[in-house]
Amino acid sequence: MEFIGYPEMIFAAVCFLSLHHLRSKTLPTNWPFLGMLPSLVVNLNRVHDWCTEYLVRNGCTFVFEGPWFTNMNHIVVTSDPANMRHIFNTNFSNYPKGAEFNEFFDILGDGIFNADLDSWKTQRKLAHHFINDKKFQSFLEQTSVVKVESGLIPVLDHVCEQNLVVDLQDLLKRFTFDTTLILLSGIDPCCLAIEFDKFPYVDALDDAEEAIFHRHVIPVNLWKLQRFLGIGKEKKLSEAKETLDQFIARCISTKRELQCDKVKSKEEEKNGVDLLTAYMEQDDGSKSDMFFRDTVLNFLVAGRSTLSAALTWFFWLVSNNPIVEAKLIEELKKAISPENEDKKVKMFDTEDLKGLVYLHGAFCEVLRLFPSVPFEHKTPLHPDILPSGHKVDSETKILPMLYSMGRMEVVWGKDCLDFKPERWITEEGGIKYVPSYKFMAFNSGPRTCLGKEIAFTQMRMVAATILYNYQIEIVEGHPISPKNSIILYMKHGMKVRIGRRV
């Protein structure tokens, strides 16, 4: 009997490792029983970039094969604009949120993000009417200016005077929590103050968003077991839900009492009202406290979380690109009105900021590279074939990767990783049109974000005030990386020093 010698064994091992290496450059290793899950677990601390790497190598779409005994088997991961257009626009009716989405995002209840069919249409129509009302637009602008002047500026001045190191992400979370809740309920929780006190309901929102993310990267049976046992991320999610429910219930109760006790003044008629007031005034008795709870929480996530994440990445990118910073300040100098120029801290009129093309381009560029919602979650009702050629059915989970799409050379060109506001400006100096299925920071198709202009109004005011009056210096050596959450926060926050701009 002839035995295999050492040279043959070494040769076979080299061949195996070489083939494995070549394969791993295309897709993660698909292990028996475990599928590609081990590779996901190993790269969980950098999952967004890990997905991006494989999407680049596989033409913007690849199939993740998880353990055969879980529902993680056959997940289509895509950053292909053609697929996005098909799912979110052309074949929209075949891709509702569905039961699985509702299960993953159960904390949002029956709010607009989870709703489908008639419920979604009714809620969207109601929200659209309210958001586009001139009185609300006036209330939005007034709220943004007042909160910057009475909340943001005093805190920034205090940080400057005391030469403190501050987490800018935390500061912006507090600001957006306050402004969003004012717009929703007329109540200012005053989270933004020089004391930087802890507020359980602010942290609860973060815990919930992180727990929902983890539901996407572990087998369903596992997180359901954790929920049953009350351990891990599911324990945090349960506690977060209880905290948020109690907080929102107090807001609703307070608002109902105010509605009963007072008659609306002419000043309120002029300045507009918050969402809860408007909804309660139109209520014929059919809307329960649970409806108001779900509405407030859904819009709180949409307004507070996405806005603070976008602003944090904006200041990080601008701080690391001094040429862009200089251009932004030059544009702001031309926009500030003479009466505001004389103030110690210069403020901007909201109307003056609307026409700033370079600032708008900078925001779009930030959201291209760091979309506040880094991925979506879809399942088709009926069997379908995506433009990429991938077959999907009701058992298939589709993960549209918005974070990765902004990093695709085939979509944005060889400079796709560069921060270039000019990318969004035409030769004539206007805003360049980019289809929403290519730039999905505000979703696409019938579910396009209703609060897009609200976001830009608040971002312009915050960015202009801080950039024109203060200098942001990131603490040397502070690590910056995306957090594992359904909102693209920075994992370790953004530690900075703030000084007055000379």
Residue 190, annotated as binding a ligand: no
The SS3 call for residue 435 is coil
Element (H, E) at 270: helix 266-271
The SS3 call for residue 126 is helix
> What is the set of domains in the chain, with CATH numbers?
35-500 (1.10.630.10)
Show pLDDT as tens, one digit a residue, over the chain (502 residues).
444 455 555 544 444 444 444 444 589 999 998 999 999 999 999 999 999 999 999 999 999 999 987 878 889 999 999 999 999 999 999 999 989 999 999 999 999 999 999 999 999 999 999 999 988 988 999 999 999 999 999 999 999 999 999 999 999 999 999 999 999 999 999 999 999 999 999 999 999 999 999 999 999 999 999 999 999 999 999 999 999 999 999 999 999 888 776 655 444 555 568 999 999 988 888 889 999 999 999 999 999 999 999 999 999 999 999 999 999 999 999 998 777 776 788 889 888 899 999 999 999 999 999 999 999 999 999 999 999 999 999 999 999 999 999 999 999 999 999 999 999 999 999 999 999 999 999 999 999 999 999 999 999 999 999 999 999 999 999 999 999 999 999 999 999 999 999 7
Q: How far is residue 416's CA from residue 410's CA, in Å, rounded to a whole number? A: 9
Find out whether 491 and 483 touch, Cβ atoms under 8 Å: yes
pTM: 0.92
Q: How far is residue 411's CA from residue 407's CA, in Å, rounded to a whole number? A: 8
Q: How far is residue 30's CA from residue 100's CA, in Å, rounded to a whole number? A: 25
DSSP letter assigned to residue 399: E
Find out whether 87 and 400 touch, Cβ atoms under 8 Å: yes
Axis-axis angle for helices 168-185, 452-469 (nearest 10): 140
Q: How far is residue 95's CA from residue 378's CA, in Å, rounded to a whole number? A: 6
Amino acid at 411: V
Q: How far is residue 290's CA from residue 296's CA, in Å, rounded to a whole number? A: 10
Q: How far is residue 450's CA from residue 448's CA, in Å, rounded to a whole number? A: 6
pLDDT computed for residue 271 by the predictor = 59
The string of DSSP letters for 4-58 reads P-HHHHHHHHHHHHHHHHHHHHHS---BTTTBTHHHHHHTGGGHHHHHHHHHHHT
pLDDT computed for residue 68 by the predictor = 81
* CA atoms in the 13 A half-sphere facing the CB of 181: 22
* CA atoms in the 13 A half-sphere facing the CB of 326: 3
The β-bridge partners of 31 are 35
pLDDT computed for residue 336 by the predictor = 84
